[in-house]
Structure 1
Amino acid sequence: MELERNILHELYETAESYPVTTIIGPRQSGKTTLAKAAFPQKPYVNLEAPDQRELALQDPRHFLEKYPDGAIFDEIQRTPELLSYIQTIVDEKEEHGLFILTGSHQLSLQEGISQSLAGRTGMLHLLPLSLSEIKTKVRNFSLEEQLFYGGYPKIYKQNISPQRFYRDYVQTYLERDVKQISHIKDLDQFRRFLQLCASRAGSLLDYTSLSNELGIARSTAKEWLSVLQASFILNTLPPYFENFGKRITKSPKIYFNDVGLLCYLLGIQEPEQIETHPLRGMLFENLVYTELKKLHYNRGKEANFYFYRDSNQIEIDLMYQQGSDLI
């Protein structure tokens, strides 16, 4: 099953405007499939492969000489050393659409891109499938099924049960990604932290409460949450403030980038459970927020979303800022 992505037009526009296009997002959100489908003529290099990574690290200049017309470099955060050499090439050639980079870890890329590719790359965010993308191929999904299945393409393309997919996804994330991007040694405790964050989705972020419940230091809770954010598992929604000197509520809210993963972490085993689940409202709220983010990302726009809560507990769940206007 081929699933056309809504971001495709924006991807072509970005490649026509910059020598480098960087696509970032969670693992298995479809970055590789999108890049290869959009640019089938470009050589594809998987930098997760040990042999390719070793070649790139041993002699970056010689490695890049094999791709005079550019290439797709998948998981570029594994070889950040390449970025300065890519900068040299694109500055010499002065051509657009040369390199397509993908990455699934924000912090590993941020420094290299800001130092080497500032002004040379267009950045695109690709989250899992939106409901509009899913509905082009899947009909008559109930709300509970939409929440339960989530948006990872593999579930739909390979007809895998969500429970099996998310079980393997979390296990791979813990054993591979978390080890690569952090110094976390107690993966079982980190998994419990991930599940605890799931139970707090839609709520104000409280590091003290998280740390007390798990018996870890507050600084550890902050570090672990930054790992989850950097790998696009979850994100925080900031509070809106009326002026730059005064925030009504200082703490952001926690939301997950895929509501299917959230359902799995909450122990939901079938769509019917959601009908009477105590967190049903929160799941729907999370879905609405992520769908609006996808809509903006797929159009190449910043997702300037906020919530509002004042001292009287008057709350607006979601607000969007466009220039000086609030929606």
Structure 2
Amino acid sequence: MKHSLFRALPLWSFDDSLADLSSPMIWITGPRQVGKTFLARQLDASYFNWDTPEVRRAYLQDPYFFRTEKKLVVFDEIQKRRDWKKILKGYYDSPSRRENFIITGSGRMDQYKKAGESLQGRYDLFHLWPLTLDEISHKKQQQIPASPRNWQNWTPTSDSISDESLIKLGGFPKPFLNGSEKKLRRWQDQYLDRLVREDIRDYSTVHRLDQLDLLARLLPERVGSPISYLSLAEDIEASTVGIKTWIRLFETLYLGFLIRPYHRKIHRAIKKEPKWYFYQWTFVQESAARFENFIAVQLATACQAWSEQGYGRWELFYLRDQDRREVDFLICHDLRPIALVEAKLSLQSWPTSLMYYCRKLSIPGFLVYAGDDKSPVSRKENLGWILPSCRFLSGLILKI
């Protein structure tokens, strides 16, 4: 399999911050092996990986070892140093500073407990997510949706590429480009093992790594359903408090993310239990749940992109009430409902729950199913569309 990859996210964020040199420090964070180092190496910058002994020795000999003719400096994995925020604060506040910095890492760098100094107000934070259909197809977006009316008038494009390989191989560049499901399975085992045995040790003092490993391998079976902390606690023989703490830790290290229920103005809405989704949806073996996870990542990426581009606060929720009406995803702009999305593995009729909430919230809905660009597309009265995921996702994020 041959694909030309261009990691457009979050390069678009540099238009206003890096290009104008108005932001002296930019952080790029995201999952391990998602392409942050590759992205950073495409820039005309001096690159230093703080996870290597050479860079650590250079720092001990000269704290300003990075100074060269280049004015842009990339620090990769500096957050693994205990005093990394103090180091960056010193560089930023130095009267002799002439460099701009890009900081990359595979943890939520603004949450690291080992940090001793605050960097609040000194950086712009951007995220690199797994591959999107836009990135592998180079499709451009017409306009960032900003209101229900824009979504209501949206028409699927007739030109799109298949997302089958993306669903099958996941959105991490290495296994996707390898194009082999055998290599993918080996990569996944190594990825989980390294995250549990190495990354968590760098971040936390958790001692029950066997329980953490078991939790990571049980979560794929829970994708698509509200998390039952009690059930997981019983399976792992841990406390519910411990399960919640460990899931937050997995969030911090970008193994996955939580989508919470939306309950504003929703009568008898479920308010507490979030749903868990993996950044690498291929961890999920069951086909329908994997497809839902794939759509979750694509939509969450879009919400993050629109927020970082300055279009307001975009968030992803799900809907569920005590009458068992449920819709997989609700896109909100500044907490205002914008669009509903239901993910199905195959073409189906319009769900009653989707119809109910489209009418109740007066917003469009989209029944998105796994298909190709030749699969049927239909309009559901004035409520929304039934269409294959490749048609729905094409042009979702990237601007013209």
TM-score (norm 1): 0.81
Query: 1:276 matched to which residue of 2?
Result: none
Listed as ranges, the matches of 1:89-168 within 5 Å are 89-92=91-94, 98-106=100-108, 109-110=111-112, 115-135=117-137, 141=162, 143=164, 145-158=165-178, 161-168=183-190
State which drifts further: 249-258 or 290-299. Answer: 290-299
Instruction: Give 1:97 shift.
Output: 7.2
Equivalents in 1 of 2:57, 2:199: separation in Å? 19
> How many Å separate the matches in 1 of 2:239 and 2:232?
9
Cα-to-partner distance string for 1:10-33 (whole Å, 9 max, x where unaligned): 234332331100001000001111
Answer yes or no: is the 8 Å Cα contact 1:240–1:307 preserved in 2: yes
* Contact 2:29 2:107 (C-alpha < 8 Å) held by counterparts: yes
Counterpart in 2 of 1:178?
200
Name the SS for the 2:31 alignment partner.
coil
- Indicate the SS of the match to 1:146: helix
8 Å contact kept, 1:249–1:308: no
Q: Is this contact kept in 2: 1:20–1:96, CA < 8 A?
A: no
Per-residue deviation, 1:100? 0.2
- Which moves more between the two structures, 4-13 or 63-72? 63-72
Q: Distance in 2 between matches of 1:177 and 1:130?
A: 25
Q: Which amino acid aligns with 1:286?
A: N
CA contact (8 A) 2:36 2:128 kept: yes
Cα pair distance change 1:24/1:170, threshold 3 Å: same
Question: Which secondary structure state, in structure 1, belongs to the residue aligned with residue 63 of structure 2?
Answer: helix
- 8 A contact 1:202–1:285 mirrored in 2: yes
2:244 to 216, 222, 238: 222
Cα distance in structure 2, aligned partners of 1:185 and 1:114:
23
- 2:314 and 2:333 in contact (8 A); partners too: no
Per-residue CA distance 1:264-315 (angstroms, 9 max, x = gap): xx4xxxxxxxxxxxx3222221111110122233442554111121121222
- Using the TM superposition, give the Cα deviation of residue 115 of structure 1 relative to its aligned residue in structure 2, in angstroms: 4.8
Secondary structure, counterpart of 1:123 in structure 2: strand
Corresponding residue number in structure 1 for 2:152: none
Displacement of 1:142 in angstroms is: 6.0
Q: Shift of residue 114 of structure 1? A: 10
Residue identity in the other structure for 2:36: K
Displacement of 1:113 after TM fit? 8.2
**Match status 1:204 vs 2:215:** no
Contact 1:155 1:162 in 2 (8 A): yes
Q: Distance in 2 between matches of 1:315 and 1:185?
A: 38
Cα offset, 1:93, TM superposition: 5.8
Q: Would you say 1:213 and 2:231 are equivalent positions?
A: no
Flag the 1:308–1:170 CA change in 2: closer, same or farther, 3 A. Answer: same
Tell me if the contact between 2:224 and 2:276 (Cα under 8 Å) persists in the aligned partners: yes
Cross-structure match for 1:275: none
Counterparts of residues 164-313 of structure 1 (less than 5 Å): 164-242=186-264, 248-260=270-282, 262-263=283-284, 266=285, 279-299=286-306, 300-301=308-309, 302-313=313-324
Q: SS in structure 2 opposite 1:183?
A: coil
List runs of 5+ in structure 1 lacking aligned partners: 267-278
Secondary structure (helix, strand or coil) at the match of 1:71 reads strand
Q: Work out the CA distance in 1 between the residues paired with 2:206 and 2:125.
A: 29
1:9 and 2:27 matched:
no
**Cα distance between partner residues in 1 of 2:4 and 2:96:** 34
Which moves more between the two structures, 81-90 or 189-198? 81-90
2:288 partner amino acid: G
The residue identity in structure 2 corresponding to 1:100 is I
CA RMSD of aligned residues (A): 3.1
Does residue 314 (structure 1) correspond to residue 325 (structure 2)? The answer is yes
Contact kept in structure 2, 1:308 and 1:316, CA below 8 Å: yes
Q: In the alignment, is residue 66 of structure 1 matched against residue 71 of structure 2?
A: no
Give the equivalent residue in structure 2 for 1:22.
27
Report the Cα distance in structure 2 between the residues aligned to 1:12 and 1:110, rounded to whole angstroms. 28
Q: Which structure shows the bigger proportion of residues in strand conformation?
A: 2
How far apart are 1:187 and its partner, in Å? 3.2
Report the AA paired with residue 28 of structure 1.
Q
Q: Distance in 2 between matches of 1:209 and 1:47?
A: 40
Q: Partners of 1:221 and 1:114 in 2: how far apart?
A: 27
Asked if the contact 1:126–1:297 (Cα under 8 Å) also holds between the matched residues in 2, the reply is no
TM-score, normalization by structure 2: 0.67
**1:119 & 1:109 partners in 2: Cα distance?**
15
C-alpha contact 1:236 1:253 (8 A) present in aligned 2:
yes
SS of residue matched to 1:238: strand
Matched residues in 1 for 2:98 and 2:168: separation? 41
Q: How many residues align?
A: 304
